[in-house]
Amino acid sequence: MKITDVKVIPVNRFLYVKVFTDEGITGLGESGAWGFLDASAEAVNSFKSYLIGKDPLQIEHHWQYMYRSFHFRGAAIMGAISAVDIALWDIAGKYFNVPTYMLLGGKSRDKIRTYYHVHGETTEELVANCVKAKEQGFNAIGHLSPFLDEPRSTPYFQPYVKMINEAVERVRIIREAVGDDVDLCLELHRRMKPGEAIAFSKAVEKYHPFFLEDPLTPDNFDSMALVASKSNVPIATGERIHSIQEFEMLLSRNAMSYARTSVCLCGGISGTKKIAAIAEAHGVPIVPHNPLSPVSTAACIQIATAVDNLAIQELPDHNTISATERFTSTDAIEEVKFKQRDMVTWVPSVTDGFIEVPVQAGIGIDLVEDAEEKFPYKRREVNTRLHMDGSIVDQ
């Protein structure tokens, strides 16, 4: 079996890669380069000349070749490698007529616990969405910002004491609204400095969050380790890094209690499997990062099924618009009739907060016919939030 073509397929706010073979088997993958999908697409086109004519089952060799060929890396390149890698694992599963996770060692579990995305621009909206998630059967909720999901067009300012106290008060209200039957995965969106994060962690720990996600920007591993050493609430981080060495450096510093592996950014299924093994050696579970489309979800499920050290799987709402629009737009977005699930042939169903492990060959999903024409691609605009004084705010 040989690769005959590699096609980049931009759809809506997402970037897909489809790999074709001379035996009629195709594989589908997704890039998680987020705001740099166009650059990621060009990286795929660079790798295309190497891939055509190769055996698609030599996945590890192709991964190493792409990763090491140009001596440089970054989000756009790693998103491209991830998309190709996922597509090759999809082909392998279809070739052997088994779900991809069977090629990764088989099932470690029969169903996968998930946490559901919630959001809100006001306390009332956020609490209502948390209650709604519980009513839908979820026993964990995430992408839950105690600082609210305010539009990026709104200048930011809060005194320190108000910032901490109001955020903690929201967590209290949410905890009382959903009770102890629901875990709260708090998303801090890298908006705090180390001292602020330590203070917030101490103030909020009495409400027992499952974890604090990305309290700081990911640039300084020692700073994240400092926060982790002072926090009684577990720290989850890693979604914005994309090499096994970076994860090892964080793990060796005890800077994470949960490893947030971005399957569509950290090297695909191959890269995530390696990171999961390193994390397992440190006694750390993984929480696969998944703010993308149902294709990303399908790839994440393969890892979540196969590895032993899974804590929980992030699950965005595929019945609505992309996370890019919902969480990074300039103004509040009117959720139109578009649904992510309309782009694809399958999305997982959730019962009591768990996804049953699928049995389809490969990663079990494909794009609908003419998805590129039916759901035209939209480049993400360059847009970040400003402080009241005009400086940059991390959110």
Which H or E run contains 371?
A: helix 371-374
Burial class (CB in 10 A: 0-12, 13-18, 19+), 349: exposed
**Of these residues, 143, 189, 242, 318, which one is catalytic?**
189
pLDDT at 170: 98
Task: Please give the CATH number for the structural domain made up of 3-98.
Answer: 3.30.390.10
Alpha-carbon span 295 to 30, nearest angstrom? 6
189 is catalytic: yes
Neighbours of 161 (CB within 10 A): 9
pLDDT at 321: 83
Task: Look at phi and psi of residue 96 and say left if phi exceeds 0, alpha if psi is from -120 to 50, else beta.
Answer: alpha
Name 159's Cβ contacts closer than 8 Å, sequence gap at least 6.
none
From first to last of its 395 residues, the chain has per-residue pLDDT tens of 999 999 999 999 999 999 999 999 999 999 999 889 999 999 999 999 999 999 999 999 999 999 999 888 899 999 999 999 999 999 999 999 999 999 999 999 999 999 999 999 999 999 999 999 999 999 999 999 999 998 888 999 999 999 999 999 999 999 999 999 999 999 999 999 999 999 999 999 999 999 999 999 999 999 999 999 999 999 999 999 999 999 999 999 999 999 999 999 999 999 999 999 999 999 999 999 999 999 999 999 999 999 999 999 999 999 988 877 776 655 545 556 789 999 999 999 999 999 999 999 999 999 999 999 999 999 888 889 999 999 999 98
pLDDT at 331: 53
**Of these residues, 62, 117, 143, 289, which one is catalytic?**
289
Residue 10 bridge partners (DSSP):
15
pLDDT at 330: 52
Does 103-361 carry CATH code 3.20.20.120?
yes
Alpha-carbon span 109 to 106, nearest angstrom? 9
The domain ranges of the chain are 3-98, 103-361
Q: At residue 235, what are phi and psi to the nearest 5 degrees?
A: -100, 130
Nearest to 41 by CA among 29, 23, 50: 29
Name 184's Cβ contacts closer than 8 Å, sequence gap at least 6.
140, 141, 142, 144, 171, 174, 175, 178, 207, 208, 209, 210
Structure-block tokens of residue 328: 């990074």
Residue 314 bridge partners (DSSP):
115
3-class SS string, 162-200: HHHHHHHHHHHHHHHHHHHHCEEEEECCCCCCHHHHHHH
pLDDT at 102: 98
This prediction's pTM: 0.97
pLDDT at 320: 87
Q: What angle do CA 291, 295, 297 make, to 5 degrees?
A: 50
Q: Can you tell me whether residue 142 is helix, strand or coil?
A: strand
- On the question of a common fold for 3-98 and 103-361, the answer reads no
Alpha-carbon span 114 to 111, nearest angstrom? 10
Name 53's Cβ contacts closer than 8 Å, sequence gap at least 6.
2, 3
Using only the alpha carbons of the chain, give its radius of gyration. 20
pLDDT at 152: 86
User: Is there a contact between 67 and 81 (Cβ–Cβ < 8 Å)?
Assistant: yes
User: Is there a contact between 292 and 40 (Cβ–Cβ < 8 Å)?
Assistant: no
119 is catalytic: no
Neighbours of 129 (CB within 10 A): 18
User: Is there a contact between 128 and 105 (Cβ–Cβ < 8 Å)?
Assistant: no
